């Protein structure tokens, strides 16, 4: 069993929760069948025949538990192609809530009202930006940009994950990374909610994008909702639920090229 399985990840599930569920599904029938599949040996004792193990699995690009949408699961020998799929561009439906900040840059962190800008700032705080200003700013975020990853991220700092250091109260210094925002479209704005579609390069953090938009507008902002709708040419419309049965999941596995 080798190939690519497109999964529509539910909210509240980690990417590993999906893998664990799929492994359980593909292994469940083998375990159940194996319990009743016993032979009698020469000594008259019953011996069980080992069933097949669930196939090797891995995902090609994690999604935070808060987010929903397309998760690529590589099955069997296809796991060797992980880097190939990890590098594909992603498309998201994002929602940013302005007027507040979050310790994790998303809705799962502790939410605080936006702080005033520093006293030496040349521009005063902007409590409710106009739509024209918001759209103009989004244009500035398109193209190649330097992006500082969230404090709560899986990036390693001195051999430790940034999120682990942040949980211990450490201030993590993360260097900006070059990412590409190919397109931002379908903008809908009604303060404090800003929604848009974003097609971005691999490695782009939508949490950071939300945070930076809020900072530039002078309001603060955090990512309040996220759905990944496409990875490269693969769409979430072709994905199946991780809670589907073994037969449906098996039929959904497609070959990789």
CATH number of the domain bearing residue 199: 3.30.2350.10
Domain membership flag for residue 46: no
What percent of the chain is modeled with pLDDT above 90?
65
Q: Which two tokens stand for residue 44?
A: 């008259």
d(C-alpha 238, C-alpha 70), whole Å: 9
Q: Can you tell me the distance from the alpha carbon of 185 to that of 196, in angstroms, rounded to the nearest whole number?
A: 6
Q: In terms of domains, do 75 and 116 share one?
A: no
Q: How many CA atoms lie within 13 A of 108 on its CB side?
A: 15
pLDDT given for residue 31 in this prediction: 43
Is 51:31 a contact under the CB 8 Å cutoff? yes
The model's pLDDT over 71-90, given as tens digits with 9 standing for 90+, comes to: 999 999 999 999 999 999 99
Q: Give the pLDDT band (50/70/90) at residue 150.
A: confident
Query: Domain residues for 62?
Result: 3-34+51-87+233-252
pLDDT (tens digit, 9 = 90+) per residue, 199-249? 999 999 999 999 999 999 999 999 999 999 999 999 999 999 999 999 999
Annotation says 29 is catalytic:
no
Which is the catalytic residue, given 2, 30, 64, 212? Answer: 64
Q: Among 119, 104, 63, 106, which Cα is nearest to 86's?
A: 63
């Amino acid at each position: 069993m080798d190939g690519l399985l497109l999964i529509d990840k539910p909210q509240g599930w980690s990417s590993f929760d999906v893998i664990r569920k799929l492994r359980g599904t593909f292994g469940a029938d083998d375990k159940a069948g194996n319990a009743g599949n016993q032979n009698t040996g020469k000594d008259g004792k019953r011996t069980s025949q080992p069933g097949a193990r669930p196939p090797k699995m891995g995902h090609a690009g994690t999604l935070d538990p808060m987010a929903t949408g397309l998760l690529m699961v590589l099955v069997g020998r296809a796991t060797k192609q992980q880097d190939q799929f990890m590098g594909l561009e992603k498309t998201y439906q994002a929602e940013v809530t302005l007027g507040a900040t979050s310790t994790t840059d998303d809705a799962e962190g502790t939410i605080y009202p936006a702080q005033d800008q520093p006293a030496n700032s040349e521009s005063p705080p902007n409590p409710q930006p106009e739509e024209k200003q918001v759209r103009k700013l989004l244009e500035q975020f398109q193209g190649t940009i330097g992006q500082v990853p969230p404090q709560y991220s899986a990036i390693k700092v001195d051999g430790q994950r940034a999120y682990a250091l942040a949980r211990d109260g450490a201030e993590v210094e993360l260097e900006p990374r070059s990412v590409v925002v190919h397109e931002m479209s379908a903008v809908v704005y009604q303060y404090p909610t800003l929604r848009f579609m974003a097609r971005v390069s691999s490695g782009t953090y939508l949490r950071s994008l939300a945070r930076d938009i809020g900072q530039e507008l002078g309001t603060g902002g955090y990512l309040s909702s996220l759905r990944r709708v496409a990875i490269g040419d693969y769409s979430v419309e072709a994905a199946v639920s991780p809670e589907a049965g073994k037969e449906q999941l098996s039929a959904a596995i497609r070959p990789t090229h």
